[in-house]
Amino acid sequence: MTHPTDAGLRARKRAATQSTIERAALSLALEHGYDGVTVDAICEASMVSQRTFFNYFGSKEGVILGPPPPMPTDAAVEAFVHAAGHDVLGDLVSLLAAAIADGEPDRDLFRSRRVLIQRTPELMNREVARMTELQTGLVAIVLARLRASGRADSSGLTEEARMIVVLAGSVMRYCLEQYFSGTTTGNPREVLENALALVRRITNGS
């Protein structure tokens, strides 16, 4: 068995290595373009072996795009599906916010990623595919919630679920922009909680 302190130390070392590789990869790609960068060059710049690189990121695309957004736990999804109450949009924003609120994403890395994705059609396609997949998953969850609340399937329920996911997605994107544009001094949790309060006001029609 591993001593807790050892485990903590190992996790911190792991995070530091990961961050070093990401920074090296993004800086090289910004300089030479995505296609002009090799895994070899990234490994050399970050002083890790190819084995370590693939262990952490799987591919060149993986290190440039970064990990997908953190998802709610199964228990949180379960609670969302079976919650009472009519503010499904507010509850969905709350579910997504809870999953990501504890992260402290790095603004510089995020901005570099955005620039590269916008410049590189291959990365843009991959990112769009990733977001579409994520949305599909969320539509299924919202549909389960609508059904659990006794709504009949005949009344355009899938369309309604899709619209709820579209709206929640735009709230999350708006929070991202606020956070990363530096127009707010709040940490991610504050930005998300503020947005959720606004959504609840809007859906409750107060």
Nearer CB in complex with its own copies: 52/194:
194
Nearer CB in complex with its own copies: 62/169:
169
CB of 122 to its own copies, least distance (A): 13
Calpha distance 176→16 (Å, rounded): 24
CB of 64 to its own copies, least distance (A): 19
CB of 50 to its own copies, least distance (A): 34
Calpha distance 42→110 (Å, rounded): 18
HSE-CB for 188 with a 13 A CA cutoff: 16
The answer to whether residues 118 and 128 touch, using CB atoms and an 8 Å cutoff, is no
Nearer CB in complex with its own copies: 42/175:
175
Smallest CA-to-CA distance from 203 within 87, 83, 85 is with: 87
The answer to whether residues 42 and 28 touch, using CB atoms and an 8 Å cutoff, is yes
Nearer CB in complex with its own copies: 39/198:
198
Residues of this chain that bind its own copies (CB under 8 A): 86-89, 118, 124, 156, 159-160, 163-164, 166-167, 169-171, 174, 194-195, 198-199, 201-206
Calpha distance 38→50 (Å, rounded): 11
CB of 204 to its own copies, least distance (A): 7
Calpha distance 118→20 (Å, rounded): 23
Smallest CA-to-CA distance from 127 within 109, 111, 113, 140 is with: 113
CB of 124 to its own copies, least distance (A): 8
Nearer CB in complex with its own copies: 140/202:
202
CB of 135 to its own copies, least distance (A): 11
Nearer CB in complex with its own copies: 23/151:
151
Calpha distance 78→80 (Å, rounded): 5
